[in-house]
């Protein structure tokens, strides 16, 4: 199978390298400064965990001509950049385009442009950032293989998606999983990360440790996430993966402790912080897409609207350690009172 990676950023570079290392016929499309880096150095990937570096020489092209036929084109780039690239993809004769990217608006624009028989959607669980010409990455390693989730636009498990999954599964330290609910998964991923978490992180100077120490930012983020999932619920979109339902029912104090612990994890620097600091355009794109979903739902989302406005207006950061918002203890106090009263009544009866 001839495979093209349309996008040579951190994620595309790591995935292309891992597939090439497994003997796949891989080509990488790059432009400008990134193309010159790759011509001079090859694809250099550096593990954030072990600091080990690898150099992989992958065939390069600078543009995709209409007659350049590939069995699979992986479009690995920001949502807004992928939309800009659609005219080039439409003109090309390749048969399968797998879009690995964040999206809240669904696959309709892609299907309208390319036809449903040419579109697959998915998400790759590998993250990284550029350090000069090197890609510093997490996942796609022996101890932590990178999962690639993919599916047909309308949830069917077809021979085509099985074939593509099998090819990608051959990649070094890669594993694939076919999803019947790829669109719901993508919307939930955006709901969790962008209109509330990424914008609250911005209000902490894109510093995960500062956010972990700023309870007001954590509360704003968690309340925004709850609003976002209420939007999806009203629209009939299932929570994917189901483990995310905890953000709907866990009491606020427990969620604050959970998110604070997560933010203090050093891997957050690679998985979120470094990425968020250079994708302001994509965050705005995804926030706008989610706000359209909110309008359709009719759900009141004051926290999300506040956070998005602060992000769009480039508001100054919150004071570190800010604790002006009152925490909602009702999720813990009321159940505790019920248990206490029940225990007293049981004692009287017995």
Tens of pLDDT, residue by residue over 254-295, are 999 999 999 999 999 888 888 787 889 999 999 999 999 999
Q: Say whether both 215 and 119 belong to one domain.
A: no
How far, in Å, CA of 208 to CA of 179, rounded?
Answer: 31
Find out whether 172 and 50 touch, Cβ atoms under 8 Å: no
- Residue of 130 and 333 predicted with greater confidence: 130
What does the mean pLDDT of the chain come to?
Answer: 93
Q: Say whether both 144 and 230 belong to one domain.
A: no
Q: Say whether both 189 and 310 belong to one domain.
A: yes
How far, in Å, CA of 177 to CA of 162, rounded?
Answer: 9
pLDDT at 350: 47
Does some domain include residue 346? no
Does some domain include residue 340? no
Q: Does the pLDDT at position 42 exceed 70?
A: yes
Find out whether 19 and 8 touch, Cβ atoms under 8 Å: no
Find out whether 160 and 150 touch, Cβ atoms under 8 Å: no
Q: Does the pLDDT at position 344 exceed 70?
A: no
Q: Say whether both 107 and 196 belong to one domain.
A: no
How far, in Å, CA of 211 to CA of 205, rounded?
Answer: 8
Average pLDDT over residues 305-319: 96
For residue 117, what is the DSSP state? G
Last residue of a domain, one of 180, 205, 240: 180
List, in order, residues 6 or more apart from 306 with CB less than 8 Å away: 220
Q: Say whether both 80 and 199 belong to one domain.
A: no
Does some domain include residue 251? yes
Reported as a single tens digit per residue, the pLDDT across 106-119 is: 999 999 999 999 99
Q: Say whether both 207 and 124 belong to one domain.
A: no
pLDDT at 341: 43
- Residue of 350 and 320 predicted with greater confidence: 320
Q: Say whether both 170 and 235 belong to one domain.
A: no
Q: Say whether both 113 and 191 belong to one domain.
A: no
- Residue of 278 and 162 predicted with greater confidence: 162
Does some domain include residue 119? yes
pLDDT at 333: 58
Does some domain include residue 343? no
The range of the structural domain enclosing residue 83 comes to: 2-180
Does some domain include residue 242? yes
Average pLDDT over residues 138-166: 95
Q: Is 101 exposed, middle or buried (0-12, 13-18, 19+ CB in 10 A)?
A: buried
Phi/psi of residue 90, each to 5°? -60, -40
Neighbour-count burial for 304-333, b at 16+ CB within 10 Å, e otherwise: bebbbebbeeeeebbeeebeeeeebeeeee
CA–CA–CA angle 63, 11, 165 (5° rounding): 90
Does some domain include residue 25? yes
- What's the residue count for the chain? 350
Q: Say whether both 171 and 218 belong to one domain.
A: no
Find out whether 179 and 157 touch, Cβ atoms under 8 Å: no
Does some domain include residue 8? yes
Q: Say whether both 167 and 86 belong to one domain.
A: yes
Domains identified in the chain, total number: 2
How many other CB atoms are found less than 10 A from the CB of residue 35? 16
Q: Say whether both 169 and 228 belong to one domain.
A: no
Alpha helices by DSSP H, the chain: 10-21, 32-41, 79-91, 108-114, 159-169, 182-193, 199-202, 208-212, 215-234, 246-249, 252-263, 268, 274-276, 280-297, 302-312, 330-349
CATH number assigned to the domain comprising residue 40: 3.40.50.720
Token pair for residue 115? Answer: 């036809």
pLDDT at 332: 72
- pTM exceeds 0.85: yes
How many other CB atoms are found less than 10 A from the CB of residue 1? 16
First to last CA, the chain: 74
How far, in Å, CA of 308 to CA of 288, rounded?
Answer: 9
Q: Say whether both 174 and 227 belong to one domain.
A: no
Which band of pLDDT confidence, cut at 50, 70 and 90, is reported for residue 336? very low
How far, in Å, CA of 261 to CA of 117, rounded?
Answer: 43
Last residue of a domain, one of 140, 156, 180: 180
Find out whether 303 and 223 touch, Cβ atoms under 8 Å: yes
Question: Among residues 223, 244, 231, which one has the least CA distance to residue 291?
Answer: 231
List, in order, residues 6 or more apart from 240 with CB less than 8 Å away: 179, 181, 184, 185, 188
Q: Does the pLDDT at position 345 exceed 60?
A: no
How far, in Å, CA of 203 to CA of 265, rounded?
Answer: 19
Average pLDDT over residues 11-32: 97
């Amino acid at each position: 199978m001839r495979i093209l990676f349309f996008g040579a950023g951190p994620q595309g570079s790591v995935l292309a390298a891992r597939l090439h290392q497994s003997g796949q016929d891989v080509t990488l499309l790059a432009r400008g400064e990134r193309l010159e880096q790759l011509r001079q150095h090859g694809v250099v990937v550096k593990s954030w965990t072990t600091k080990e570096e690898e150099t992989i020489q992958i065939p390069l092209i600078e543009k995709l001509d209409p007659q350049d036929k590939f069995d699979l084109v992986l479009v690995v780039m920001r949502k807004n950049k992928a939309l800009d690239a659609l005219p080039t993809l439409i003109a090309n004769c390749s048969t399968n385009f797998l879009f690995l990217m964040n999206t809240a608006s669904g696959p309709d624009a892609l299907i309208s442009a390319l036809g449903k028989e040419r579109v697959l959607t998915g998400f790759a669980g590998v993250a990284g950032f550029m350090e000069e010409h090197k890609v510093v990455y997490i996942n796609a390693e022996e101890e932590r293989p990178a999962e690639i989730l993919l599916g047909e636009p309308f949830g069917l498990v077809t021979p085509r998606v099985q074939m593509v999954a099998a090819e990608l599964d051959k990649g070094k330290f890669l594993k694939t999983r076919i999803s019947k609910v790829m669109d719901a998964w993508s919307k939930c991923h955006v709901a969790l990360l962008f209109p509330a978490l990424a914008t609250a992180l911005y209000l902490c100077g894109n510093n995960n440790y500062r956010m972990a120490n700023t309870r007001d930012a954590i509360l704003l983020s968690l309340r925004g996430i709850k609003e976002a999932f209420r939007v999806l619920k009203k629209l009939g979109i299932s929570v994917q993966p189901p483990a995310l339902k905890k953000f709907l029912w866990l009491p606020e104090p427990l969620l604050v402790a959970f998110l604070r612990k997560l933010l203090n994890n050093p891997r957050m620097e690679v998985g979120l912080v470094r990425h968020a600091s250079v994708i302001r355009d994509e965050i705005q794109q995804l926030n706008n897409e989610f706000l359209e979903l909110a309008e359709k739902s009719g759900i009141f989302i004051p926290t999300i609207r506040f956070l998005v406005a602060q992000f769009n207006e480039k508001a100054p950061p919150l004071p570190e350690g800010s604790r002006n918002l009152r925490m909602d203890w009702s999720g813990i106090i009321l159940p505790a009172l019920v248990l206490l009263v029940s225990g007293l009544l049981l004692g009287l009866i017995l």
